[in-house]
Amino acid sequence: MRNTAIGATAAVAVLAGLVTSGPAPTARAASVEKKPAKTASVHGKARISYIESINDDIRFTIHAEQTPFTRPVPPEAPEGLSTDARGTLKFSHTPRGGATGWAEARVDCLVTSGRTATLTAIVTKSNVEDVGARLGISVQQGGKGEPDRLGFSWGVVNVDPGNVDENGRPVRPQAGTCMAPAPFTTVVKGGFKVVHAEITKSPAQPEAAIRRG
């Protein structure tokens, strides 16, 4: 009987200790702060090989990130678009033995999918492009040993044969926001890092763009 009483007393003491100290932490996740949502972006610089100018030195530098709903487009999108973006685009094209053509532009749109991104930028300075023109760029980050790739909205694409100037030459249409061709050139030096993030649902008239299509 004495041994039983001692055992009971010890059990009560253990339970009392547990009550006093409080429950042990069981949900570690609750103490960890929620990670912020990823932001779509593309960063890097590279020299490309372009089939139409195979011996030329053509380089691109891109730093862009998505900033949804920061560029109002009244009246259709008074709060802006989910693909609004900021950043810079620079390119240079030096033909063998020729003068360098170059441009700097302000990024206004970016959308991603996996390792691929398309973006547009408005020219701010250039000796070959009109200031205010919108340029479209696509980037594909290579995988499994494949090289990165890049496309641009001039050269062999974005031609409207029915739209000609006074000399009969086709006029290049302006690229719409985030409109760019597939990445048809190969990066031969440098590269790009693409971070994918799903686009954010529009707070106003979310179905309008789909209905218009």
pLDDT value of position 154: 87
Q: Which of the two residues, 24 and 145, has the higher pLDDT score?
A: 145
Whether the pLDDT of residue 81 is over 50: the answer is yes
Whether the pLDDT of residue 197 is over 50: the answer is yes
Whether the pLDDT of residue 22 is over 80: the answer is no
pLDDT value of position 97: 87
| 83-126 tens-digit pLDDT | 999 999 999 999 998 999 999 999 999 999 999 999 999 999 99
| CA neighbor of 59 nearest in space, from 172, 152, 177, 167 | 152
Count CA atoms within 13 Å of residue 98 on its CB side.
Answer: 13
Whether the pLDDT of residue 69 is over 50: the answer is yes
pLDDT value of position 9: 46
> What mean pLDDT, rounded, does the chain reach?
83
Over range 44-73, report the average pLDDT.
Answer: 96
| CA neighbor of 128 nearest in space, from 72, 159, 76, 172 | 172
Q: How does residue 35 score in pLDDT terms, banded at 50, 70 and 90?
A: low
Count CA atoms within 13 Å of residue 76 on its CB side.
Answer: 9
pLDDT value of position 175: 83
